[in-house]
Amino acid sequence: MVFSKRRFWAALIAAAAFCAPAAHAQDSASQAPAAQNEQPKVFQFALQNGMRVVVVPDRRAPVVTQMLWYRVGGVDDPPGLSGLAHFFEHMMFRGTKAVAGDQFSRTVARNGGQDNAFTTHDYTAFYEQIAKDRLPIVMGLEADRMANLDLSDKNVRTERDVVLEERRMRVDNDPQSLLQEQMGAALHLSHPYGRPVIGWAGEIRHIGRVEAQDFYTHHYAPNNAILVVAGDVTAAEVRADAEAAYGKVPARELVARADYVQPPRLGETRLAIRRPDVRLPVFARTYRVVSYTEARPGEAEALDVLAQLMGGDANSALYRALVVDKKLAADAGVSYDGYRRDSGSFTIYAVPRPGVSLSRLEQASDAVIAQFQKAPPNPADLARAKTQLVADATYQRDSQFAMASAYGRALVIGLTAEDVEEWPYRIRKVAPATVQKVAASELVRTESVTGYLMPEAAKPAAPAPARQEAHQ
């Protein structure tokens, strides 16, 4: 991740790569506040078809990063069709009549660029990094597949099989991924955050051409997208190119996104998973906590600071207690995933040393959590944690991708450009008492799932059959 936090969940590693705050944006352009006046100017405007456009000028090299963020993710999968949003991340690379098969990525590569995509519960994003004079090419490619995707039966069947194989490789054959998936399902009760983004295998198999066409028509539209361009460009250049490419794609009628009221959890959930392919036992606990979109001012920032203090690096409290001092664990860490439309999650994990039980690791972890709930953090530790978070975010401005991601990820879940820019300032303002408060109010056992991942005990060998004498 961009921040120097130790990450257990692979999904959080990916999501965390988009945390770096950058600059302030308004309808035209605005100079950032004095405290952040080193930030570049950022421009925002909208096309007539409803597409929102954000431009982040970066003159250091003649290259650009284009990111197209769609407001559709795993939460938008229809009942019984989990994984449909992720399936469409794949389908968008199946081609159109004009750019058939894998010619999209081949065209980007021939022009010296690279491309990829990713899906979360809340959004799907596609990106290309390429020389600035090739920006119109990749805009044309994206606009084409936004309007003219080839959804033939053959393409749908082929990509459905690809996704099923991906699930087998990355989830079904990975014990840690299975633990994560099961804990997520238990944590979120009726909320679609409990469905895996990749989908359940039995439901993926039900995806057909009709379902794919309906999903594409009502989600992959310019009025459901945010275009972010970072690089050696001006707002006027991007506006002209965007209008020429995306402006031709008509707006469509969208499916309204559902608002979910999460039911209260009346007790904690515990899972113990034993599998013969487990090579590394793991203790993990995930709490359902407030996110940046639903927290009171300063709460989400305090959770970010708490995660850094508790398990963000080798100087953190959990790592020092379990790995360095007590020598119970080979690794330990904490992460906070707060960039969501609905609730966030706060995860702790520890990997035991040989001979150490998971219950002992859990008890030692609970003792560290209790320290933060009973008293404010040490001022020196707090200052170091905040400095680390802000410094890591600052370093990310060296990456066009991170800058574009910071804006896209915030805007697509309903935050503002001001939230992106002011994040370092808000982190610096986090008070010791606020860290203690969120530790006590958010890390509640009834709002958690605790997981043990253990190797399956070897079965005793079957007794050898009695030897019989041969008789003539």
Q: List active site positions.
A: 89
Give me 96's structure tokens: 């159109």
Q: Are strands 25-26 and 42-46 parallel, antiparallel or unpaired?
A: parallel
Q: How many CB atoms lie within 10 A of CB 40?
A: 17
Q: Which residues of 101-128 are buried (b: 16+ CB within 10 A; e: fewer)?
A: eeebbebbeeeebebebbbbbbbbbbbb
Task: State how far Cα 301 lies from the chain centre.
Answer: 17
Give me 256's structure tokens: 């309204």
Give me 18's structure tokens: 């988009």
Give me 51's structure tokens: 């597409």
Helix (H) or strand (E) holding 372: helix 358-374
3-state secondary structure of 128: strand
The CA distance from 297 to 360, in Å, is 36
The CA distance from 351 to 293, in Å, is 32
Nearby residues of 134 by Cβ (< 8 Å), 6 or more positions away: 111, 112, 113
Count CA within 13 A, CB hemisphere, residue 384: 15
Contact 46, 52 (CB under 8 A): yes
The CA distance from 370 to 446, in Å, is 15
Contact 289, 303 (CB under 8 A): yes
